[in-house]
Amino acid sequence: MVKVATRMRGLQQSTLGAMTVRCQELGAINLAQGLSQVPPPASLLADGAREFEHIGHSYSQPEGLAVFREAVAHKLKRSSGLSVEPTTQVVATVGATGALMATLTAMLDPGDGVILFEPFYSYYLSSLKVLDLCPEPVRLAGPDFEISEESLRAAITDRTRAMIVCTPNNPSGHRLTAAELKIISAVAEEHDLLVITDEVYEDIYFDSDPHIAAATVGNLNERTVTISSLGKAFSIPGWRLGYVCGPEQLIGAIRIAADSLVVCAPAPLQELGARALMLGEDYYRDLRAMYDRKRRTLAEGFAAAGLSPNEPEGAYYLFVDCSRMGVATGVEAAEILLERNLIGTVPGEAFYLNQPDRPYVRACFSLPDEVIAEAVGRLASGLTHG
């Protein structure tokens, strides 16, 4: 009998995807998966409809089209002051997940340890397991989820070679401060660690301070690989178009890994994506205002139902403490919300290596206003309590 690879033992469909399937089966409102169900920019759709026939439909170079890489470099410089050379320091990838897999493949060996800050995006863990890398968790305490030097240093082991940082964070919405990034810089330099930063939500935040790109702080630039995508800011996650940038000597290896894994990112979409990246500040200002409104509406709905949503500083999720439901786990809370309220959420356990200290669920608010309003109405039914 043909056997499945050992690396696949214990791996299964993500909790996010499984909850989406259950929502479809029950006719529930899906607040679980970050599907980004708000309209893409009208100008991007118009460009695609008008010009798709005339743009290139063959492969691009492994590192991506020059026009796309130049647009990435311009956007990063404009939005966060991060300077990268488009010809040697940027690679187009199949989404941010493709960027992460290429980076892990190129930079780390089986058995290497990778710091994960709990709560973390669940695909980090599955990516590490597929590549036989060792997750090393650093527990962050809610509701602020701030990084402390003490907890980070305590997690370092002899096998630690890298850390993955997400800012703004999925699922907590926490934006790392300059002080927290300086802690990361100091520890990474002391232990010669690779820093992988996932900044896919860099354009979605809710105060006046602009996004801080990790690579612009301390000495992080020389050891940081920055990952992002177009899926979140432009509501096109299905395009699977991302990028990775960093020091030339690191990006050279990552480019080879990306080529080996998937050949190249979708070339026609790179041409259109380059135009999206050139949208002006008015677009991003309106984007943040829209998400801030959705955030407040859904948070008020959970609070009115007696639950305790956090106050995310960025991204488009609430991390809701469901202790008042009288449950012990997020799994229980998510099941009650699904069965009694027909609202799908993700149990907090999906974002931890070990059991969370509270029964959290994550709820996405990247949805049409009318869907959020319906979810709030279902929360108001009072069925959330056992």
DSSP 178-203: HHHHHHHHHHHHHHT-EEEEE-TTTT
Q: Calculate the average pLDDT of the chain.
A: 95
Q: For the stretch 316-355, what's the b/e string if a residue is b when 16 or more beta carbons lie within 10 angstroms of its beta carbon?
A: bbbbbbbeebebebbbbbbbbbbeebbbbbbbbbbbbeee
Is the pLDDT score of 149 beyond 60? yes
For range 279-284, the mean pLDDT: 96
12 pLDDT more than 80: no
Fold (topology level) of 54-277: Aspartate Aminotransferase; domain 2 (3.40.640)
Tens digits of per-residue pLDDT, 75-124?
Answer: 999 999 999 999 999 999 999 999 999 999 999 999 999 999 999 999 99
Does the pLDDT of residue 383 top 60, yes or no?
A: no
pLDDT tens by residue, 175-192: 999 999 999 999 999 999
Average confidence (pLDDT) over 151-158: 97
pLDDT, tens digit, for every residue of 285-298?
Answer: 999 999 999 999 99
The structure's pTM equals 0.94
Phi/psi of residue 224, nearest 5 degrees: -110, 135
For the chain, the structural domain boundaries read 6-40+282-379, 54-277
Beta strands at 317-321 and 308-309: parallel, antiparallel or unpaired: antiparallel
Give the right CATH number for 6-40+282-379 from 3.90.1150.10, 3.30.70.20, 3.30.70.270, 3.40.50.300: 3.90.1150.10
Q: Check if 6-40+282-379 and 54-277 are the same fold.
A: no
Residue range 318-357, pLDDT digits in tens? 999 999 999 999 999 999 999 999 999 999 999 999 999 9
Predicted pLDDT of residue 385:
47
What pLDDT score does 384 carry?
A: 46
Closest by alpha carbon to 72, among 96, 90, 97?
A: 90
Provide the percentage of residues in the chain whose pLDDT is more than 70. Answer: 99
Task: Report the half-sphere exposure of 44 (CA within 13 A, side-chain side).
Answer: 24
- Kindly state the average pLDDT of the residues 239-263: 97
